[in-house]
DNA sequence: AGGTAAAATGTTATCGTTAACATGATTGAG
DNA sequence: CTCAATCATGTTAACGATAACATTTTACCT
């Protein structure tokens, strides 16, 4: 039985406290607790027991200062209330937990200025790496390029800035956009609108590209007045749709492809308010397969993205980049699939 | 124009690097950057400019070691895929961002062991405080009591352990449960079941209490075989409901009050599978107003909780506890409201 | 017993920043 | 012109842990 003179130390217990308690040096205590050999079995036991009794908790702040490693990763998302992101986070969390890391969650609120602020903060906190899905008005690629030059690793997921040598984990946006557009064409739609995202991020560009390609390949006219920037949120979708609905009746689209499901929900509301029926008067499809999409009064046809897997891939890629100097940057495109429901008019 | 000899320093730029660059001491640089008086205007300008050019970023790890403050808060949630929690996090994030803190998000996956692990980790990371919503099998109050004795502040939200002197931010669970049960009684239900939560957490206890009270006050029989533990997840709701459905027909409930909406969704599935209609054959109500609840084929009657506000209150309470020694522990009960939809049978 | 290799423990310096104190430069009053 | 007060800057130590090196103790062999 070991007698503890000062079970309650003012403030937190440190190695030094334990060392003083037992009349050994802090180094010996450190070695004992880390099991790093060459501490007499008996001494080690006494140290472990005393540490337990004194409620010792290693100070990772101090450890990090020495090791220059925090085992903490930053995760920056634009909007936590889209069901897609919590699901990605769930994936990230699982990997990160298994590998012994933690995440600092930061929220850009779809604002590029705030995004840079929180990234700066993460860097000051010396996170080992950052996973980021860009805000809707992120334009400044050089900001990320400069970070990539430092020893802090970055990985984009979902909303990426492409071709600047930073890994991207997303889905085959272009191909999926192509498929869902072609699906509308096959249903006989000929005036197809696109509510497009914004900024320089991958999904804006690639979903638009896939859309245009599908029209072109299928010899369907593209109408520039039917391509409207909506951003990525419900409100933007509502407003963009209003613009389309204000067109003269014969110029209105017969189908709308929204850059993501929240935007489609906004559009849905505008269409309902205008007294039009989905899909009879106007077909509508989205992208991302939000948790609400199958539950809408007219279930939304969309592209299903493996959100959880995007999270696990992004996290494991980032950790590999951190832990292995040889690891290369790469673009990972997971497979997304067309989810046909009723809003496109196929299942009537 | 200042000439920088070594714009690129191996590793990260420190105060020392800037100091050497300008031939001053690190302390002067520190003072200049922190604007803490008594640095000559001219010198300060040179320092600021050089710091900018060298891409200096303050090292919060080192700062934290000195100040024993990390401006980081831990947030522990049991399950990120319930829409309630992302919404709480959104509230937390807003306050925390405004006050200059960050959050480390940790996930217990409804597992008390993992919960303790992540809390230990947060403590090792020396977070200034922790917000936690307990897992479904959290029983060990002393674990939290011991932490509360240290100088790390804790606040519970939603799923609290009560009466151990730690602040709780939640809703008037007992009263709300009373109301929704009474609502079922007023609709003529007389064999009312409860799918109850688990563990020692507040919502399990209080929602059950409110349920029983409503039955008692309204002179409706309580049937102990109609109170089944389901936990807090969809799967648990499904399984618990199966048990009720296996009862002989005349012993089956005519209404079911689920401890939360995900559990109600699980129950809904079981009821549908059994070929029964909601609400005609069996009424069903939940608690929490999940984002999916109004969208179900039979929209779910439930209790709406102000999730965002729970987040903001929890965060500001925690920050006040951290920053102000005089701040007292308290129990905050926000007002939740009955949301009558169709699953209870009122709006047919 | 003497000597040496191996094992156990201790000491010092460091990570980047800042508080506390120390020193040197400048100013102004008498 | 001198001396003290004020201002600007520097030095040292500390936060808690550990790597690298240094010392002491133990064990074993001849």
To 5 degrees, how large is the angle CA A190–CA A192–CA A196?
A: 165
- pLDDT bracket for residue B347 (50, 70, 90): confident
Q: Taking the alpha carbons of A322, A327, A329, A330 in that order, is the dihedral positive or negative?
A: negative
CA B60, CA A126: separation in Å to the nearest integer?
7
Whether A177 contacts A208, CB under 8 Å: yes
Q: Note the pLDDT of residue B11.
A: 67
Average pLDDT over residues A61-76: 96
B173-305 homologous superfamily: Response regulator (3.40.50.2300)
CA distance A226 to chain B (A): 30
Average pLDDT over residues A82-106: 97
| Residues within 7 Å (Cβ) of strand C | A 23-28, 31, 37-41, 43, 62, 65-66, 68; B 11-12, 14-16, 26-27, 30, 33-34, 36, 58-59, 61-63, 65-67
CA distance A109 to chain B (A): 9
Which CA-bearing residue is nearest the C1' of C14? A66
Q: Note the pLDDT of residue B9.
A: 43
Q: Note the pLDDT of residue A37.
A: 73
Whether A131 contacts A158, CB under 8 Å: no
CA distance B244 to chain A (A): 26
CA B75, CA B88: separation in Å to the nearest integer?
10
- pLDDT bracket for residue B348 (50, 70, 90): low
Boundaries of every domain in chain B: 15-58, 68-171+307-334, 173-305
Which CA-bearing residue is nearest the C1' of D26? A40
CA distance B251 to chain A (A): 32
Q: Note the pLDDT of residue B39.
A: 85
Kindly report, residue by residue over B101-122, the tens digit of the pLDDT.
999 999 999 999 999 999 999 9
Fold of A173-306: Rossmann fold (3.40.50)
Kindly report, residue by residue over A214-264, the tens digit of the pLDDT.
999 999 999 999 999 999 999 999 999 999 999 999 999 999 999 999 999
- List the B37 CA – D2 C1' distance (angstroms): 30
Q: Which residues of B touch A104 (CB under 8 A)?
A: 72, 102-105
- On the question of pLDDT at B5 being above 50, the answer is no
User: Which architecture, in CATH terms, is A69-171+307-335?
Assistant: 3-Layer(aba) Sandwich (3.40)
Kindly report, residue by residue over B225-257, the tens digit of the pLDDT.
999 999 999 999 999 999 999 999 999 999 999
Q: Note the pLDDT of residue B37.
A: 72
- pLDDT exceeding 70 applies to what percent of chain A? 97
- On the question of pLDDT at A8 being above 60, the answer is no
DSSP classification of residue B94: H
For strand D, list residues 58-77 of chain A whose Cβ lies within 7 Å of it: 58-59, 61-63, 65-67
Q: Note the pLDDT of residue B55.
A: 92
Q: Which residues of B touch A11 (CB under 8 A)?
A: 68, 151
CA A10, CA B150: separation in Å to the nearest integer?
10
Kindly report, residue by residue over B293-342, the tens digit of the pLDDT.
999 999 999 999 999 999 999 999 999 999 999 999 999 999 999 999 99
Q: Chain A interface, mutation test: which of B73, B79, B92, B295, most A Cβ atoms within 10 Å?
A: B295
Whether B83 contacts B290, CB under 8 Å: yes
Average pLDDT of every residue of chain A: 94
| Alpha helices (H) along chain A | 15-22, 26-33, 41-54, 60-67, 84-98, 112-124, 141-149, 173-186, 202-217, 234-245, 261-273, 307-323
B68-171+307-334 homologous superfamily: Response regulator (3.40.50.2300)
Nucleic strand D within 7 A of Cβ A204: no
Q: Note the pLDDT of residue B285.
A: 98
CA A36, CA A32: separation in Å to the nearest integer?
7
Nucleic strand D within 7 A of Cβ B142: no
Q: Note the pLDDT of residue A193.
A: 98
- On the question of pLDDT at B8 being above 90, the answer is no
Question: DSSP for B214-243?
Answer: HHHHTT----GGGEEE-TTSHHHHHHHHHH
- pLDDT exceeding 90 applies to what percent of chain B? 92
A-chain residue closest to B79, CA distance:
A90
- On the question of pLDDT at A1 being above 90, the answer is no
Q: Which residues, including other chains, have CB under 8 Å from residue B280's CB and lie 6 or more apart?
A: B345
Q: Note the pLDDT of residue B12.
A: 87
- On the question of pLDDT at B35 being above 90, the answer is no
Nucleotides of C under 7 A from a protein CB: 7-12, 14-20
For strand D, list residues 77-136 of chain A whose Cβ lies within 7 Å of it: none
Q: Is B126–A65 a contact, with Cβ atoms under 8 angstroms apart?
A: no
Residue B86 has its nearest CB partner, among A12, A61, A86, at A86
- List the A22 CA – D25 C1' distance (angstroms): 18
Q: Note the pLDDT of residue B298.
A: 96
Identical fold, A69-171+307-335 and A173-306: yes
Average pLDDT over residues A269-284: 96
A-chain residue closest to B90, CA distance:
A80
CA distance B104 to chain A (A): 4
Q: What is the dihedral of CA B198, B203, B209, B212, to 10 degrees?
A: -70
Q: How many CB atoms are closer than 10 A to CB A7? A: 12
Q: Which residues of A touch B108 (CB under 8 A)?
A: none
CA distance A102 to chain B (A): 7
Q: Is A105–B107 a contact, with Cβ atoms under 8 angstroms apart?
A: no
Whether B261 contacts B287, CB under 8 Å: yes
Q: Note the pLDDT of residue A348.
A: 60
- List the B18 CA – C29 C1' distance (angstroms): 39
Q: Note the pLDDT of residue B284.
A: 98
Q: How many CB atoms are closer than 10 A to CB B25? A: 13
Q: Is A102–B107 a contact, with Cβ atoms under 8 angstroms apart?
A: no
Q: Is A126–B151 a contact, with Cβ atoms under 8 angstroms apart?
A: no
- On the question of pLDDT at A70 being above 70, the answer is yes
Of residues A12 and A99, more confidence is placed in A99
* Pair type for strands A153-157 and B192-196: unpaired
Average pLDDT over residues A317-340: 96
Q: Which residues of B touch A297 (CB under 8 A)?
A: 295
Which residue from B90, B89, B63 is spatially nearest to B77, judged by alpha carbons? B89
CATH class held by domain B15-58: mainly alpha
Please give the interface size between A and B, counted as residue pairs whose CB atoms are below 8 Å apart. Answer: 115
Kindly report, residue by residue over B189-228, the tens digit of the pLDDT.
999 999 999 999 999 999 999 999 999 999 999 999 999 9
- On the question of pLDDT at A62 being above 80, the answer is yes
Nucleic strand D within 7 A of Cβ B40: yes
A-chain residue closest to B91, CA distance:
A80
Residue B173: is it exposed, middle or buried by C-beta count within 10 angstroms (0-12/13-18/19+)? buried
Q: How many CB atoms are closer than 10 A to CB A250? A: 6
CA A103 to chain centre: 12
């Amino acid at each position: 039985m070991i007698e503890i003179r000062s079970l309650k130390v003012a403030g937190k217990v440190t190695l030094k406290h334990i060392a003083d308690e037992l009349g050994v040096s802090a180094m010996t205590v450190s070695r004992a607790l880390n099991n790093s050999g060459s501490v007499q079995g008996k001494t080690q036991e006494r140290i472990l027991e005393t540490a337990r009794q004194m409620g010792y908790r290693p100070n990772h702040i101090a450890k990090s200062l020495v090791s220059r490693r925090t085992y903490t990763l930053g995760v920056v998302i634009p909007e936590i209330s889209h069901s897609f992101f919590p699901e990605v986070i769930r994936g990230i969390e699982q990997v990160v937990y298994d590998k012994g890391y933690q995440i600092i969650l930061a929220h850009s609120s779809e604002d590029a200025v705030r995004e840079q602020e929180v990234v700066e903060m993460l860097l000051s906190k010396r996170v080992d790496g950052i996973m980021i899905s860009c805000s809707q008005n992120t334009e400044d690629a050089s900001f990320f390029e400069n970070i990539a030059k430092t020893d802090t690793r970055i990985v984009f997921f979902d909303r990426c800035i492409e071709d600047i040598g930073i890994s991207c984990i997303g889905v085959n946006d272009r191909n999926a956009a192509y498929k869902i557009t072609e699906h509308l064409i096959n249903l006989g739609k000929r005036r197809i609108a696109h509510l497009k995202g914004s900024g320089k991020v991958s999904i804006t560009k690639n979903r638009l590209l896939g859309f245009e390609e599908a029209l072109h390949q299928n010899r369907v006219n593209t109408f520039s007045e039917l391509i409207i920037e909506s951003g990525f949120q419900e409100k933007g979708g509502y407003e963009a749709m209003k613009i389309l609905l204000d067109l003269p009746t014969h110029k209105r689209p017969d189908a709308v492809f929204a850059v993501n499901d929240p935007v489609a929900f906004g559009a849905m509301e505008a269409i309902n308010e205008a007294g039009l029926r989905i899909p009879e008067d106007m077909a509508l499809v989205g992208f991302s397969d939000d948790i609400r999409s199958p539950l809408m009064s007219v279930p939304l046809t969309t592209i299903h993205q493996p959100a959880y897997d995007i999270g696990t891939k992004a996290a494991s890629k980032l950790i590999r980049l951190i832990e292995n100097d040889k690891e290369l940057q790469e673009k990972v495109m997971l497979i997304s699939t067309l989810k046909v429901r009723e809003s496109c008019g196929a299942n009537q």
